[in-house]
Amino acid sequence: MGASFVHECRYRVESFHSDCTSHLSLAVLGNQLLNTAADHAEHLGIGRQALLEKNEAWVFSRLLIQMDHYPYEFEPYAIKTWIDSVSRFFSNRHFAIFDALGKKIGNATSVWALMDLQTRQALDISQALPDHIDCVAKEHPDCPIERTTRARVTAAEPAYTFQPRFCDIDYNGHLNSIRYIEHFLGALPMEVLRERPVRRFEIGYSCECHYGEPLAVYVSSVGNDEYDLELRKADAIVASRAKVIL
């Protein structure tokens, strides 16, 4: 398996990376998936700095995480990532998560778009990065994740409201992708999440959210172990949808 096509990063669950159950928090795992993807992109020559020189950046469109087990505090773990496929406007990247013994404990898949930072519009990857198709891995770990499903929220009243602050904003000038995950989980009952860890989390991003604008999270329970969520702007535009399965 070519190292340039399947990239591995190793981590440890630091005390400030764990949640109230002393396991790796879902938000930190999301950050480490991004870190692994970013490190791989640097090795492929399509990382942040190279793109910024052209006033371009990779942005998230979708993320799905499916975990069998979360590493415990101070335990090491590893993430492998590879580009699975490329279309005109999207690059599909997969991940596999392994415990300290090398046993796979989770998978993730993500969809990325290439944005023009001046126009804030998606670019044609085949034109902007014509060699990107050559980065697709021909050999890689299995990534058996079920197809994504659409969250359907019927709640009339928000469960949680907030306004993005300084620490919520990323270098692209909008609400950080992982902050969405934190705010979605923050709208769910702590006593539920403490007893039943998130088995599957999927999120889709529709539009950017900015500093100081009023945002609201709406939640609908689909069953004892499943929730559909939406992040809405003041004008009722849906900025993001998520589904949580415990």
Same structural domain for residues 25 and 84?
yes
CA distances (Å), origin 49, targets 37, 41, 42, 168, 177? 14, 10, 8, 22, 19
Q: What does the pLDDT look like over 87-109, one tens digit per residue?
A: 999 999 999 999 999 999 999 99
* Under 8 Å between Cβ of 192 and 170: no
Q: Give residue 191's domain range.
A: 160-245
Please indicate, yes or no, whether residues 131 and 165 belong to a single structural domain of this protein: no
pLDDT at 2: 41
Q: Are residues 64 and 119 in the same domain?
A: yes
**CB within 8 Å of 3: residues ≥ 6 apart:** none
Which pLDDT belongs to residue 181?
94
pLDDT in the model for residue 130: 87
Low-confidence ranges of the chain (pLDDT < 70): 1-3
pLDDT at position 52 is: 86
Q: Do residues 43 and 86 both lie within one domain? A: yes
Q: Which of 81, 48, 41, 46 is nearest to 65 (CA)?
A: 81
Q: How many residues does the structure list for the chain?
A: 246
- Whether residue 117 is found in the same domain as residue 14: yes
127 lies in the same domain as 164: no
Mark whether 116 and 173 lie in a shared domain. no
How many independent structural domains does the chain possess?
2
pLDDT score for 141: 81
99 & 186 share domain: no
Instruction: Please tell me the predicted confidence (pLDDT) of residue 1.
Output: 38
* Per-residue confidence (pLDDT) for residue 135, from 0 to 100: 87
- The pLDDT score that the predictor gives to residue 147 is 73
Same domain, 31 and 97: yes
What CATH number is attached to the domain comprising 37? 3.10.129.10
